[in-house]
Amino acid sequence: MNETSTSTIDAPDAAGLRERMRLSFDLDVDICVVGAGLAGLTVALEAARLGASVAVLEGRHVGWNASGHNLGTVMPGYGLPLGELIERVGFDDARELWALSRDGAEFVRANATEDLMPGIGLSEGALEVSNVEAGDELISRLQMLGEDFDTEVEGWQVERVRDAVGTNRYFHGVYYPRAFQVDGRKYVHGLAALARRAGARIFEDTPVVSIDFSGIRKRIVTPSARLRATHIVLAGNIHLGAPLRRLSDTLLPVWRYAAVTAPLGEQLAQIVKFKGSVSDADHVDHFRVVAGDRLMWASPETTWEMRPQHFAAAIQRRIRTVFPKLGRVEIAETFGGVVGQTVHGMPQIGQLRKGLWVASGFGHQGLNTSAMAGQLIARSILRGAERWRLFSPFELVWAGGLTGRAAGYVVGLWGRGSSAAAGALARYRERLRAQERVREARLAEANRQATARPLPRRPRPEDLRPAPPQADGPANQSSRGA
Ligand SMILES: Cc1cc2nc3c(=O)[nH]c(=O)nc-3n(C[C@H](O)[C@H](O)[C@H](O)COP(=O)(O)OP(=O)(O)OC[C@H]3O[C@@H](n4cnc5c(N)ncnc54)[C@H](O)[C@@H]3O)c2cc1C
């Protein structure tokens, strides 16, 4: 079985034998980007396209962590559920933020073409399924997404979901025809190739060990050379470390592992007819068919690190539970990475002080959101655009570090009131506990319903038909319904 992960084994460079270039001479540039993951490379690509001189400094190699080890599903939105986003920033700003997240997905689509990234394997459509009967919730979600947030969505009835996905574990579904998937590893290396082509210089095996960001020209120190830049973009995710440890301490590290099965033959296509990604609303299952007859499947998230291989048996069992007809599948490959989860669930995008930018905290939905961050920051630096300010309400809040991922303390780099940040942390803990309770209850209920006979009432077609708009406007309805 092959195994790749960020921590236990360095993944091979997708470019295979391409020699990595280390920074071994002093350099002066307009923009220095720390980290060659999705976020750093998108900033570099956009900034180079807009004419800036750009250097990317990467401590390991391109796509070393989560950016080179993901499932490649590109959806609109954020880790924070839409209803909570509206509660947090109000309806109008939530709409704008949502539109930005859609633009991020479209940026990926525009660059992930066979011409620009050969073999990227873009396929259309993603399905979010429910573990329990939730017809009412589904209708209000469809209304909110379709009418208020201009997102193409279809509601799928239980029968359609079960027929397409090939299991009776799930109930209703929300189908996103504009969502898509790409080969995640090829995408991050494709971004690096495009950034290089646009003129950005990428130095690997070049960790940034310290930064002096006090002057107009900032100084960046690496083990073998120094660099000066007017702007620095910190895109190091949870590994940023020494250059600004207070920043990486605002992220809760969350590990996720995934597996690809051995070829499963024709029976897979007979059982799973749906070709896009399937994920359930409780973040338990996320999978899709790859290479014609294999399943790619993600494990649930953990807050501790393990070798990806250790998750093979658990993923194997889960596949058997969801698709008993497949029998015991063989796992051919495991991989994984760590994502940075913010306390408030939204990414960290913005300017910490003049010329010092941050792009991190993308959590489990990083493809569209890191693309969006890259565009926002590059355009702000080079064109003076200010839309990144929509992220200002989301403060930097300490996530607890190793000893107490539950303890609260405020970093306050962004200068917001400490009580607001402490409140965010308290709400975060409360939400985690509530989500855990809901997830457990839903799973128990789904298991009970799946084994109970007779099967629960299936919804009538009218259950799924969107209700006519109410007189008091859809916005209020939607925020209540989420
Ligand atoms: C198993 C799995 C499946 C996923 N599936 C999906 C999916 O289907 N769809 C989706 O949207 N998202 C998915 N994600 C999430 C997504 O992959 C991440 O959100 C995204 O890759 C984060 O990108 P990043 O650039 O912020 O961080 P990273 O990928 O961590 O990149 C940061 C880089 O910075 C470098 N670095 C850090 N500090 C320094 C320093 N001091 N000096 C130099 N370099 C430094 C690191 O070496 C690293 O290479 C998944 C994640 C995992 C783990």
Tens of pLDDT, residue by residue over 46-78, are: 999 999 999 999 999 999 999 999 999 999 999
Cα 182 to ligand 1 centroid, rounded to whole Å: 16
Q: What are the tens digits of pLDDT across the range 313-354?
A: 999 999 999 999 999 999 999 999 999 999 899 999 999 999
C-alpha span between 374 and 390 (Å, rounded): 15
Tokens describing residue 254: 């969350």
The pLDDT of 179-202, averaged and rounded, is 98
> 84-88, 129-133, 293-297, 433-437: lowest mean pLDDT where?
433-437
Cα–Cα distance, 352 to 342 (Å, whole number):
16
Question: Cβ contacts of residue 214 below 8 Å, gap of 6+?
Answer: none
Strand-pair category, 226-234 with 218-221: antiparallel
Assess whether pLDDT exceeds 90 at residue 202.
yes
* Ligand 1 atom, smallest distance to 64 CA: 49
> How far apart are the CA of 350 and the centre of ligand 1, in A?
18
Whether residue 468 has a cis bond before it, omega within 30° of 0: no
For residue 295, the CA-to-ligand 1 centroid distance in Å is: 22
Burial class for 419, CB neighbours closer than 10 Å (0-12, 13-18, 19+)? exposed
Look at residue 388 and give its three-state secondary structure: helix
Give the chain's radius of gyration (CA, Å).
Answer: 22
Coil/strand/helix, residue 258? strand
> What is the best residue among 10, 334, 362, 372 to mutate for testing ligand 1's pocket, by most ligand atoms within 8 Å of CB?
362
Terminal CA-CA length for the chain = 42
In angstroms, what is the span from residue 72 Cα to ligand 1's centroid? 12
**Helix (H) or strand (E) run with residue 360 in it:** strand 356-360
CA of 208 to the centre of ligand 1 (A): 17
Q: How far apart are CA 177 and CA 324, in angstroms?
A: 28
| Ligand 1 probe mutation, 255, 302, 367, most atoms within 8 A of CB | 367
Rounded Cα–Cα distance for residues 83 and 145 (Å): 11
Give pLDDT, residue 449: 63
Can you tell me which atom of ligand 1 is nearest the CA of 181? 8
**pLDDT mean across residues, the chain:** 84
Of 4-13, 103-112, 279-288, 298-307, which one has max mean pLDDT?
103-112
Atom of ligand 1 nearest to the CA of 222: 42
Contact of 360 with 236, CB cutoff 8 Å: yes
Atom of ligand 1 nearest to the CA of 366: 19
Index of the ligand 1 atom closest to the CA of residue 35: 34
Please report the pLDDT score of residue 448 as a whole number.
Answer: 63
Distance in Å, CA 237 to ligand 1 centroid: 7
**Residue 38, token pair as written in the block:** 């999705």
Ligand 1-lining residues (CB < 6 angstroms):
34-40, 57-60, 64-67, 69-73, 207-208, 235-237, 239-241, 243, 256, 258, 298, 336-337, 339, 360, 362-367, 370
Cα three-residue angle 435-440-442, rounded to 5 degrees: 90
Pick the range with the lowest mean pLDDT from 67-76, 285-294, 392-401, 406-415: 406-415
- Residue 102: is its pLDDT beyond 80? yes
| Neighbour count for residue 226 (Cβ, 10 Å) | 14
CB contact at 8 A, 235 and 33: yes
Residue owning the nearest CA to atom 9 of ligand 1? 73
Task: Please tell me the distance between residue 218's alpha carbon and the centre of ligand 1 in angstroms.
Answer: 25
Q: How far is the CA of 65 from the centre of ligand 1 (A)?
A: 5
Q: What are phi and psi for residue 345, nearest 5 degrees?
A: 85, 0
Best substitution site from 58, 290, 368 to test ligand 1's pocket, by max atoms within 8 Å of Cβ?
58
The answer on pLDDT for 193 being more than 90 is: yes
> 348 alpha carbon to ligand 1 midpoint, in Å?
14
Reported in sequence order, the residue ranges of 157-303 that DSSP labels E, i.e. its strands, are 173-181, 201-203, 210-212, 218-221, 226-234, 251-261, 277-280, 286-290, 294-298
Q: Which of 120, 116, 16, 4 is nearest to 64 (CA)?
A: 4
Provide the sign of the torsion angle of the four alpha carbons 134, 135, 138, 140, taken in this order.
Answer: negative
Name the residue at shortest CA distance from atom 38 of ligand 1: 240
Pairing state between β 277-280 and 123-129:
parallel
The interaxial angle of helices 367-383 and 91-111, nearest 10 deg, is 100
Residue 337 CA, ligand 1 centroid: distance in Å:
7
Mutation test residue for ligand 1: of 341, 364, 372, the one with most atoms within 8 Å of CB: 364
